[in-house]
């Protein structure tokens, strides 16, 4: 009788041992981030050190999954801007993308960049923001009429043929108007009389810039 009980005990223990060996428990011992974390000829695959030819069920990943870059929830781009730069609070108006046939008005409270690169664009005026910095590029032939700078820094580049007729930067803390050889540059009013270069305006002249 004792012999029978002993054999039954052996059989039960064998069954338990076999069952425990059939369960695949994943261990943190073989987790890896780089190949340097693995030894014994194993390779770092899917976040685990495995023997050559082996595999894991799924890769380890601690990074959150996203569909793309997160938008800047605090930036609202005004409708007259073709794009905005949140980091510098800048409105960009590209006349090659939107019509600049009417008066171009920069939104208040922002810096503004206006690209009048299309022929005859910005002929009905460009109004810079009252306090922000303003950059106007007049690259289109016959572009830019009646440009009004605010109190911020104002930079007007006149490179298009017969561009820039009427630039007012009397209120600007620092105004630069550069005129190309084929530009018109008529009726340009600098911050002060001494800032007039004869071919535009320069804030590099002493006492011609007071921007904070």
How crowded is residue 131: how many other Cβ atoms within 10 Å of its Cβ?
14
Domain locations along the chain: 83-201
Tokens of 96: 């090659």
Distance of CA 179 to the CA centre of its chain: 30
Query: pLDDT tens track of the chain, all 212 residues?
Result: 444 444 445 444 544 444 444 444 455 677 877 777 777 777 777 677 777 665 554 444 444 443 433 335 567 999 999 999 999 999 999 999 999 999 999 999 999 999 999 999 999 999 999 999 999 999 999 999 999 999 999 999 999 999 999 999 999 999 999 999 999 999 999 999 999 999 899 999 999 999 99
pTM: 0.66
pLDDT, tens digit (0-9, with 9 covering 90-100), for 183-195: 999 999 999 999 9
Task: Report which DSSP code applies to 109.
Answer: T
Tokens 């002493």: give the residue.
Answer: 206
**So what's the pLDDT on residue 49?**
76
Distance, CA of 138 to CA of 46 (rounded, Å)? 55
Length of the chain: 212
Degrees, nearest 5: CA angle 194-170-121: 115
**What tens digit of pLDDT does each residue of 9-41 get?**
544 454 444 444 444 445 567 787 777 777 777
In sequence order, what DSSP letters do the residues of 117-167 get, joined into one string? -STTTTTT-EE--SSS-EEEEE-STT--EEEE--SSEEEEEE-STT--EEE
């Amino acid at each position: 009788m004792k012999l029978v009980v002993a054999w039954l005990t052996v059989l039960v223990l064998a069954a338990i041992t076999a069952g425990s060996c059939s369960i695949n428990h994943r261990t943190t011992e073989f987790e890896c981030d780089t190949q340097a974390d693995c030894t014994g000829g194993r390779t770092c695959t899917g976040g685990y050190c495995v023997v050559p030819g082996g595999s894991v069920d799924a890769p380890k990943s601690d990074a959150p999954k996203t569909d793309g870059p997160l938008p800047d929830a605090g930036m609202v781009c005004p409708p007259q801007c073709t794009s905005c730069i949140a980091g510098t609070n800048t409105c960009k108006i590209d006349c090659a993308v939107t019509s600049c046939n009417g008066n171009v008005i920069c939104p208040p409270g922002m810096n503004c960049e206006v690209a009048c690169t299309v022929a005859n664009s910005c002929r009905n005026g460009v109004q810079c923001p009252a306090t922000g910095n303003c950059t106007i590029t007049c690259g289109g032939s016959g572009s830019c009429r009646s440009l009004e700078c605010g109190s911020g820094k104002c930079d007007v580049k006149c490179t298009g043929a017969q561009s820039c007729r009427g630039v007012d930067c009397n209120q600007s803390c620092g105004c630069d108007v550069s005129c190309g050889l084929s530009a018109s540059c008529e009726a340009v009013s600098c911050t002060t009389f001494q800032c007039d270069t004869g071919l535009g305006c320069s804030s590099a002249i002493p006492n011609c810039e007071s921007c904070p």
